[in-house]
Amino acid sequence: MKSVETPQSLPTPETLESLTPRQIVVELDRYVVGQRNAKRMVAIALRTRWRMQRLPEHLQNDIIPKNIIMIGPTGVGKTEISRRLAKLSGAPFLKVEASKFTEVGYVGRDVESLVRDLTELSVNIVKAEHHEQVQEKAKSYGEERLLDLMLPPPTARPTLEPQHDGENGQEEASPTDSYMQTREKLRAQLLAGKLDARNVEIETKEKSIPIGVISNVGMEEIESNLREALGGLFPAKRKKRTMRIDDALKTLIQEEAQKLIDMDEVVRLAVHKVEQTGIVFLDEIDKIAGKERSSGPDVSREGVQRDLLPIVEGCAVSTKYGIVKTDHILFIAAGAFHVAKPSDLIPELQGRFPIRVELEALSKDDFVRILTEPNNALITQYCALIGAEGVALQFTDDAVKEIAEIAVLVNERSENIGARRLFTILELLLDEVSFEAPDLIEKMLSIDVAYVRDRLKDIVKDEDLSRYIL
């Protein structure tokens, strides 16, 4: 990442090759509580992809992708497992609700758009990596441009012989030498931040397309491509802006970084990254499952399944960055399947998700662990938020257990939304603390079981919990 040269091959996460399925599970345990089977399955799928990439091409094409379908209620960790897996592998990750592709209620999206969106994400990831690599060089160029604006170079005038002082006979400093000395003094002041508050006038590029494009539902991709195509026909305009020197420096560095990045190489690496490591998370897959009927929304749902089939199976999708093959993209589908069953999906699509795992409902003990154990534990988050006000917040063990028990109770009495219930419980519990924190004289607060019961007593007693927690 420190090199300023554009890499010639796809950067691979250093740890990915050495991560065994067991190690992947350990990493996922740091953020997701329980769901051992699901973690094992995604770990195997990730490792299998690594194994496939090391096989001869003719063997790769014969191996069925190890796509996964997760079955379980909302809030048990389906999305988080997939998201953390993608982050761990350094892969471009796209989450999309399958119901968006239906025609129930509104015009559905083009199914191939998920591949285009994933490719766009990958381009942004690779571009950001390259931006970091050229940052030092861009900073140097940006400083030089800013110094040229503050102290324009002198007009070169040819001299035939050295100039001498009339009295002492000493050589006078040339205009160039004097200019360079002044420039270095300005550079030192610039780097020290002494000039940040001053203003300077710079020219920035401003692309404008004199043709407006009317957008409609489902036309986003067409509009984007059209604007990009038309944008190349019109030269970029230059606009003069007066800015603070520190802001001007950032702008100039950004412009220089854009010049140093080889976009052709970025696109090549990004497309390769999508094809070999991309992960698509299809949420609410159960919403498009249903037995075939002669009329009604199920016809549309089955149509979406058949549109998804070639994408999941492996095909070539046309994007503005070229053709993207989906053969090795990992698809992870998820759904609660309260009404529909996985068997209600069309058989062809079922066959493209050979790995099925059922996630377990969360218990009181799981809630306690979610509140305290992960690196991003909810208790840790809320203590940090209140700590920003200078107030030290502490939760007793009994208080944490009581919060977990109340969350389980609310889920049983109303809609079971899994661990997401903890967010609503904690927001209600700490409502007064969050409001009063800036004005509190006492900077140490302890949340004990008595405080929890007092703040949440109404939702425990009242059966109509919707008045308190939706």
CATH number where 459 lies: 1.10.8.60
With CA atoms as reference, report the closest residue to 467 among 458, 418, 413.
458
Residues 413 and 328 in one domain: no
SS3 381: helix
Q: What are the angstrom distances between the C-alpha of 361 and each of 31, 62, 159, 216?
A: 17, 37, 87, 41
With CA atoms as reference, report the closest residue to 332 among 19, 46, 27.
46
Residues 146 and 239 in one domain: yes
pLDDT of residue 105: 43
Cα distance between residue 284 and residue 419, in whole Å: 18
Q: Which residues contact 35 (CB under 8 A, 6 or more apart)?
A: 76, 77, 81, 359, 360
Cα distance between residue 307 and residue 459, in whole Å: 45
Last residue within a domain, chosen from 358, 375, 393? 358
Residues 383 and 408 in one domain: yes
Q: What are the angstrom distances between the C-alpha of 332 and each of 71, 78, 147, 325, 458?
A: 11, 9, 52, 17, 40
Residues 422 and 336 in one domain: no
110: CATH: 3.40.50.300
Rounding to the nearest 10 degrees, give the CA dihedral for residues 28, 31, 33, 37.
Answer: -20
Residue 197 CB burial class (10 angstroms; 0-12, 13-18, ≥19):
exposed
Structure tokens at 128: 């950001």
Residues 233 and 287 in one domain: no
Max alpha carbon distance in the chain (Å)? 108
Print pLDDT tens along the chain (470 aa): 333 333 333 334 444 566 788 888 888 888 888 888 888 888 888 888 888 878 887 787 777 778 889 888 888 888 888 888 888 888 898 988 887 777 544 455 678 888 999 999 999 999 988 888 888 888 888 888 888 888 887 765 544 455 555 555 555 556 677 878 888 888 888 888 888 788 887 777 765 544 444 444 445 555 555 555 555 555 556 778 788 888 888 888 888 888 888 889 999 999 999 988 888 988 888 888 865 554 554 457 788 888 888 898 888 999 889 999 998 888 988 888 878 888 888 888 888 888 888 888 888 888 898 888 888 888 999 899 988 888 888 999 999 999 999 888 888 887 778 888 888 888 888 888 888 888 888 888 888 889 888 888 877 666 555 555 55
Cα distance between residue 64 and residue 331, in whole Å: 12
CB 379 within 8 A of CB 400: yes
Structural domain contains residue 13 = no
Residue 305 CB burial class (10 angstroms; 0-12, 13-18, ≥19):
buried
Cα angle 359-365-369, degrees, rounded to a multiple of 5: 85
Cα angle 218-224-230, degrees, rounded to a multiple of 5: 135
Cα distance between residue 97 and residue 256, in whole Å: 39
What b/e readout covers 147-176, taking b as 16+ CB neighbours within 10 angstroms? beebeeeeeeeeeeeeeeeeeeeeeeeeee
Residue whose structure tokens are 């107030």: 391
Domain count, the chain: 3
Residue 335's CB is within 10 A of a number of other CB atoms, namely 25
Range of the domain at 351: 21-129+273-358
Cα distance between residue 147 and residue 143, in whole Å: 6
Residues 392 and 340 in one domain: no
Structural domain contains residue 151 = yes
Structural domain contains residue 435 = yes
Structural domain contains residue 265 = no
Residue 42's CB is within 10 A of a number of other CB atoms, namely 29
With CA atoms as reference, report the closest residue to 308 among 82, 114, 120.
114
List phi, psi (to 5°) of 359: -85, 145
Residues 147 and 218 in one domain: yes
pLDDT of residue 240: 80
Residue whose structure tokens are 């700590």: 387
pLDDT of residue 11: 36
* N-terminal to C-terminal alpha carbon distance within the chain: 46
pLDDT of residue 108: 52
Structural domain contains residue 6 = no
Residues 300 and 278 in one domain: yes
Structural domain contains residue 268 = no
Last residue within a domain, chosen from 319, 335, 358? 358
Cα distance between residue 171 and residue 14, in whole Å: 60
E-strand spans in 63-164?
Answer: 68-71, 93-97
What is this structure's pTM? 0.74
Last residue within a domain, chosen from 215, 237, 260? 260
Residues 190 and 79 in one domain: no
CB 342 within 8 A of CB 52: no
Residues 151 and 251 in one domain: yes
Helices (H), ranges, 173-262: 175-191, 220-231, 245-260
Residues 30 and 120 in one domain: yes
pLDDT of residue 328: 86
Structural domain contains residue 11 = no
With CA atoms as reference, report the closest residue to 259 among 141, 148, 349.
141
Cα distance between residue 187 and residue 177, in whole Å: 15
Structural domain contains residue 123 = yes
The H-or-E segment that residue 305 falls in is helix 297-313
Residues 374 and 395 in one domain: yes
